[in-house]
A and B are shown apart, each in its own frame.
Chain A
Amino acid sequence: DAGVIQSPRHEVTEMGQEVTLRCKPISGHDYLFWYRQTMMRGLELLIYFNNNVPIDDSGMPEDRFSAKMPNASFSTLKIQPSEPRDSAVYFCASSLAGGRGEQFFGPGTRLTVL
Protein backbone atom coordinates (compact mmCIF):
# COMPACT_ATOMS: atom_id res chain seq x y z
CA ASP A 1 0.00 0.00 0.00
CA ALA A 2 1.25 3.51 -0.81
CA GLY A 3 0.15 4.89 2.53
CA VAL A 4 -1.80 8.11 2.97
CA ILE A 5 -1.30 10.39 -0.02
CA GLN A 6 -1.56 14.14 0.21
CA SER A 7 -1.34 16.79 -2.48
CA PRO A 8 0.09 19.23 -3.06
CA ARG A 9 3.16 18.84 -0.84
CA HIS A 10 3.81 22.58 -0.88
CA GLU A 11 1.44 25.41 -1.61
CA VAL A 12 2.27 29.10 -1.73
CA THR A 13 -0.62 31.46 -2.28
CA GLU A 14 -1.63 35.03 -1.70
CA MET A 15 -4.04 36.23 0.93
CA GLY A 16 -7.62 36.01 -0.24
CA GLN A 17 -7.09 33.10 -2.60
CA GLU A 18 -8.88 29.78 -2.29
CA VAL A 19 -6.75 26.81 -1.27
CA THR A 20 -7.72 23.16 -1.66
CA LEU A 21 -5.77 20.39 0.00
CA ARG A 22 -6.33 16.78 -1.00
CA CYS A 23 -6.01 13.45 0.76
CA LYS A 24 -6.29 9.83 -0.24
CA PRO A 25 -6.53 7.56 2.81
CA ILE A 26 -5.30 4.00 3.06
CA SER A 27 -7.76 1.66 1.39
CA GLY A 28 -10.10 0.06 3.91
CA HIS A 29 -9.61 2.64 6.63
CA ASP A 30 -12.93 3.92 7.97
CA TYR A 31 -11.60 7.02 9.71
CA LEU A 32 -9.99 10.09 8.20
CA PHE A 33 -8.54 12.98 10.18
CA TRP A 34 -7.35 16.44 9.20
CA TYR A 35 -4.74 18.07 11.47
CA ARG A 36 -2.90 21.37 11.41
CA GLN A 37 0.58 21.80 12.89
CA THR A 38 2.19 25.11 13.82
CA MET A 39 4.99 26.02 16.15
CA MET A 40 2.69 28.07 18.31
CA ARG A 41 -0.26 25.70 18.64
CA GLY A 42 1.29 22.30 18.02
CA LEU A 43 -0.78 19.59 16.33
CA GLU A 44 -4.48 20.37 16.30
CA LEU A 45 -7.32 18.18 15.10
CA LEU A 46 -9.51 20.12 12.68
CA ILE A 47 -12.13 17.55 11.70
CA TYR A 48 -12.58 13.84 11.35
CA PHE A 49 -14.80 11.55 9.30
CA ASN A 50 -16.10 8.06 9.89
CA ASN A 51 -17.40 6.19 6.85
CA ASN A 52 -17.30 9.46 4.88
CA VAL A 53 -19.51 11.28 7.40
CA PRO A 54 -18.12 14.25 9.37
CA ILE A 55 -18.23 13.32 13.04
CA ASP A 56 -16.48 16.15 14.83
CA ASP A 57 -15.63 19.50 13.25
CA SER A 58 -15.18 21.39 16.50
CA GLY A 59 -11.56 22.07 15.65
CA MET A 60 -12.30 23.90 12.40
CA PRO A 61 -11.14 27.41 13.18
CA GLU A 62 -13.82 29.35 11.36
CA ASP A 63 -16.24 29.36 8.46
CA ARG A 64 -13.44 29.94 6.01
CA PHE A 65 -12.51 26.29 6.47
CA SER A 66 -14.55 23.44 5.03
CA ALA A 67 -13.90 19.75 4.50
CA LYS A 68 -15.59 17.09 2.44
CA MET A 69 -15.28 13.37 1.90
CA PRO A 70 -17.34 12.48 -1.17
CA ASN A 71 -16.19 8.85 -1.12
CA ALA A 72 -14.04 6.46 0.87
CA SER A 73 -10.90 7.22 -1.10
CA PHE A 74 -10.83 11.00 -1.23
CA SER A 75 -11.14 14.02 1.02
CA THR A 76 -10.55 17.74 0.60
CA LEU A 77 -9.87 20.58 2.99
CA LYS A 78 -10.68 23.98 1.56
CA ILE A 79 -9.78 27.41 2.86
CA GLN A 80 -11.61 30.32 1.31
CA PRO A 81 -10.44 33.05 1.56
CA SER A 82 -7.00 32.21 2.88
CA GLU A 83 -5.17 34.42 5.37
CA PRO A 84 -1.49 34.58 6.43
CA ARG A 85 -2.35 33.05 9.81
CA ASP A 86 -3.47 29.90 8.00
CA SER A 87 0.16 29.19 7.14
CA ALA A 88 0.94 25.79 8.62
CA VAL A 89 1.55 22.17 7.79
CA TYR A 90 -1.71 20.30 7.23
CA PHE A 91 -1.73 16.56 7.80
CA CYS A 92 -4.24 13.96 6.81
CA ALA A 93 -4.33 10.67 8.71
CA SER A 94 -6.42 7.54 8.40
CA SER A 95 -7.12 4.61 10.68
CA LEU A 96 -9.22 1.52 11.15
CA ALA A 97 -10.34 2.40 14.65
CA GLY A 98 -10.28 6.16 15.15
CA GLY A 99 -8.64 7.08 18.39
CA ARG A 100 -8.78 3.51 19.60
CA GLY A 101 -5.93 2.45 17.32
CA GLU A 102 -2.95 3.48 15.29
CA GLN A 103 -3.27 6.43 12.94
CA PHE A 104 -1.32 6.57 9.69
CA PHE A 105 -0.21 10.03 8.68
CA GLY A 106 0.43 11.44 5.24
CA PRO A 107 3.53 13.50 4.49
CA GLY A 108 1.65 16.77 4.96
CA THR A 109 1.03 19.88 2.88
CA ARG A 110 3.09 22.92 3.80
CA LEU A 111 0.89 25.95 3.18
CA THR A 112 2.29 29.46 3.01
CA VAL A 113 -0.13 32.34 2.64
CA LEU A 114 1.57 35.59 1.72
Chain B
Amino acid sequence: SQQGEEDPQALSIQEGENATMNCSYKTSINNLQWYRQNSGRGLVHLILIRSNEREKHSGRLRVTLDTSKKSSSLLITASRAADTASYFCATDFTGGGNKLTFGTGTQLKVEL
Protein backbone atom coordinates (compact mmCIF):
# COMPACT_ATOMS: atom_id res chain seq x y z
CA SER B 1 0.00 0.00 0.00
CA GLN B 2 1.15 3.53 -0.72
CA GLN B 3 -0.89 4.85 2.14
CA GLY B 4 0.85 7.27 4.45
CA GLU B 5 1.20 6.29 8.07
CA GLU B 6 0.65 8.84 10.79
CA ASP B 7 2.22 8.78 14.17
CA PRO B 8 0.97 8.88 16.83
CA GLN B 9 -2.50 7.45 16.22
CA ALA B 10 -3.83 9.49 19.11
CA LEU B 11 -2.48 12.46 21.04
CA SER B 12 -3.87 14.18 24.11
CA ILE B 13 -2.41 17.50 25.29
CA GLN B 14 -3.32 20.48 27.42
CA GLU B 15 -4.43 23.76 25.91
CA GLY B 16 -1.46 25.99 25.23
CA GLU B 17 0.93 23.11 24.55
CA ASN B 18 2.35 22.29 21.14
CA ALA B 19 1.18 19.25 19.17
CA THR B 20 3.39 17.41 16.73
CA MET B 21 2.15 14.80 14.28
CA ASN B 22 4.27 12.82 11.87
CA CYS B 23 3.58 11.23 8.52
CA SER B 24 5.69 8.71 6.65
CA TYR B 25 5.19 7.56 3.09
CA LYS B 26 6.75 5.05 0.75
CA THR B 27 7.44 6.48 -2.71
CA SER B 28 8.48 9.81 -4.19
CA ILE B 29 5.92 12.57 -4.18
CA ASN B 30 4.96 15.74 -6.01
CA ASN B 31 3.43 17.27 -2.91
CA LEU B 32 2.15 16.43 0.53
CA GLN B 33 -0.93 17.97 2.09
CA TRP B 34 -2.40 18.09 5.59
CA TYR B 35 -6.13 18.05 6.29
CA ARG B 36 -8.22 18.39 9.43
CA GLN B 37 -11.46 16.57 10.11
CA ASN B 38 -13.74 17.55 12.93
CA SER B 39 -16.05 14.85 14.22
CA GLY B 40 -18.90 14.19 11.79
CA ARG B 41 -17.64 16.66 9.23
CA GLY B 42 -15.78 16.67 5.93
CA LEU B 43 -12.06 17.20 5.64
CA VAL B 44 -10.64 20.71 5.49
CA HIS B 45 -7.37 21.53 3.76
CA LEU B 46 -4.71 23.05 6.02
CA ILE B 47 -1.49 23.32 4.06
CA LEU B 48 0.32 21.98 0.98
CA ILE B 49 4.07 21.53 0.76
CA ARG B 50 5.78 20.71 -2.53
CA SER B 51 8.55 18.17 -2.89
CA ASN B 52 11.18 20.90 -3.40
CA GLU B 53 10.16 22.72 -0.21
CA ARG B 54 11.41 21.89 3.26
CA GLU B 55 9.26 23.98 5.53
CA LYS B 56 6.05 25.96 5.38
CA HIS B 57 4.10 28.06 7.85
CA SER B 58 0.49 29.07 8.08
CA GLY B 59 -0.61 30.86 11.22
CA ARG B 60 0.01 28.47 14.13
CA LEU B 61 0.84 25.61 11.76
CA ARG B 62 4.33 24.60 10.73
CA VAL B 63 4.93 21.78 8.27
CA THR B 64 8.27 20.23 7.46
CA LEU B 65 9.12 17.79 4.70
CA ASP B 66 12.15 15.52 4.51
CA THR B 67 12.08 13.73 1.18
CA SER B 68 15.22 11.76 1.98
CA LYS B 69 13.44 10.19 4.93
CA LYS B 70 10.05 10.22 3.20
CA SER B 71 8.47 11.92 6.15
CA SER B 72 6.63 15.07 7.13
CA SER B 73 5.59 16.64 10.39
CA LEU B 74 2.80 18.99 11.34
CA LEU B 75 3.34 21.22 14.36
CA ILE B 76 0.44 23.11 15.91
CA THR B 77 1.71 25.71 18.34
CA ALA B 78 -0.20 27.07 21.34
CA SER B 79 -3.00 24.56 20.86
CA ARG B 80 -6.61 25.38 21.62
CA ALA B 81 -9.59 23.22 22.47
CA ALA B 82 -10.94 24.04 19.00
CA ASP B 83 -7.94 22.21 17.49
CA THR B 84 -9.43 18.93 18.71
CA ALA B 85 -9.89 16.92 15.51
CA SER B 86 -8.34 14.20 13.37
CA TYR B 87 -5.43 15.22 11.19
CA PHE B 88 -4.54 13.45 7.95
CA CYS B 89 -1.60 13.68 5.62
CA ALA B 90 -2.23 13.07 1.94
CA THR B 91 0.32 12.50 -0.76
CA ASP B 92 0.33 13.08 -4.49
CA PHE B 93 2.69 10.31 -5.57
CA THR B 94 4.91 10.76 -8.58
CA GLY B 95 3.28 8.77 -11.34
CA GLY B 96 0.29 8.21 -9.11
CA GLY B 97 -2.19 9.77 -11.47
CA ASN B 98 -2.90 13.26 -10.06
CA LYS B 99 -4.81 12.02 -7.04
CA LEU B 100 -4.27 11.99 -3.30
CA THR B 101 -3.66 9.00 -1.06
CA PHE B 102 -4.63 9.68 2.53
CA GLY B 103 -2.92 8.42 5.64
CA THR B 104 -4.49 6.79 8.64
CA GLY B 105 -4.81 9.97 10.68
CA THR B 106 -3.89 11.25 14.12
CA GLN B 107 -6.68 11.96 16.61
CA LEU B 108 -5.75 15.06 18.57
CA LYS B 109 -7.54 15.98 21.77
CA VAL B 110 -6.78 19.32 23.38
CA GLU B 111 -8.03 19.55 26.93
CA LEU B 112 -8.79 22.70 28.86
The interface of chain A, by Cβ under 8 A from chain B, is: 4, 31, 33, 35, 42-43, 45, 48, 50, 55-56, 91, 93, 97-108
Contact = CB atoms under 8 A, between A and B. Distances in A.
Nearest to B105: A42
B31 interface: yes
A69 to B, nearest CB: 15
Contact of A100 (B31, B44, B103, B105): B31
Given A43-B88, A99-B92, A105 B42 contact: yes
B95 to A, nearest CB: 11
Interface in B82-109: 88, 92, 96-105
Interface residues of B, number: 23
A8 B47 CA distance: 29
B3 interface: yes
A98 B98 contact: yes
The 9 closest A-B pairs by CB, nearest first: A105-B42, A99-B92, A98-B98, A43-B102, A102-B45, A105-B43, A99-B99, A99-B100, A99-B98
